[in-house]
Structure 1
């Protein structure tokens, strides 16, 4: 899955029964490490991706809350899927360059991530695109933020 084709695949697959689940599994097949958090992608469109991770033992830390690195994984997944679906794949490519995070509260419930950038926009060569990602608990409290820098370049 790459570029605009990701959005086309999303639109086609999510019309099927269990389409969101199937798409989420395909993303984890393409990038296996994300499978460790079992993400479920809720919504994908130009400039936007949201996904949820359920509170379960495999993502816990020693105090029974969702581990900090699991939160980072969810943030990177959302930002990456959104950028992959948004950046024009015929002319540009991208790679994560850095991430700054803030842990604002313990995550003691399922957690939902939202990655969003303003659209429409121009794409440039050698651009640092900062993607803000916010994570919320089921009480709609902001528990984590990340600014993920994606390096965008033109294809040669």
Structure 2
């Protein structure tokens, strides 16, 4: 079993477990900590991550900054890819296309999804990420291309 999934299963039902798990992810990838994300759901081919609206992620008009939403989308896509690809594979983000569809005047949630990835040759794997405000309105859509390759043999 993937180490991240095992840690999630140990923590998710405990008091502050989701928050603690999210902080561990941010310790491994410190830049994500700047948005104070919280992983809400975590399973292969689906991850949901929330981000509160606070001054540090706002733009000049008081809505959630577009780049903060990109950061959230990348975190959702990366953690989802990590638990979705075979253990014989590794990944790295290769590109991102983003559509900003509305103002995010509240905290937001990103959901990342991808079809099943099987063992095989190096290839691009698209990860779809929708970012919605607290009312469920789609405010941002991203497709993050992951470069998935076989792990080098020791």
What range describes the TM-score normalised by the shorter chain of this pair?
Answer: over 0.9
Tell whether 2:112 aligns with 1:115.
yes
Q: Supply the distance in 2 between the matched residues of 1:53 and 1:136 (Cα, whole angstroms).
A: 10
Q: Report the number of matched residues.
A: 152
Q: Supply the distance in 2 between the matched residues of 1:124 and 1:71 (Cα, whole angstroms).
A: 32
Tell whether 2:98 aligns with 1:101.
yes
What's the counterpart of residue 71 of structure 1?
Answer: 69
What's the counterpart of residue 138 of structure 2?
Answer: 142
What's the counterpart of residue 41 of structure 2?
Answer: 43
Paired residues of 2:90 and 2:150 also in contact (CA < 8 A)? yes
Q: Supply the distance in 2 between the matched residues of 1:127 and 1:6 (Cα, whole angstroms).
A: 23
SS at match of 1:122: coil
SS at match of 2:4: helix
Q: Could you list the runs of 5+ residues in structure 1 that have no partner in the other structure? A: none
TM-score by length of 2: 0.95
Q: Could you list the runs of 5+ residues in structure 2 that have no partner in the other structure? A: none
Where do 1:54-93 residues align within 5 Å?
54-89=52-87, 91-93=88-90
How far is the alpha carbon of 1:39 from its aligned partner?
0.2
Paired residues of 1:124 and 1:152 also in contact (CA < 8 A)? no
Paired residues of 1:4 and 1:88 also in contact (CA < 8 A)? no
How far is the alpha carbon of 1:94 from its aligned partner?
0.4
Q: Supply the distance in 2 between the matched residues of 1:61 and 1:5 (Cα, whole angstroms).
A: 36
TM-score by length of 1: 0.93
Q: Supply the distance in 2 between the matched residues of 1:5 and 1:82 (Cα, whole angstroms).
A: 13
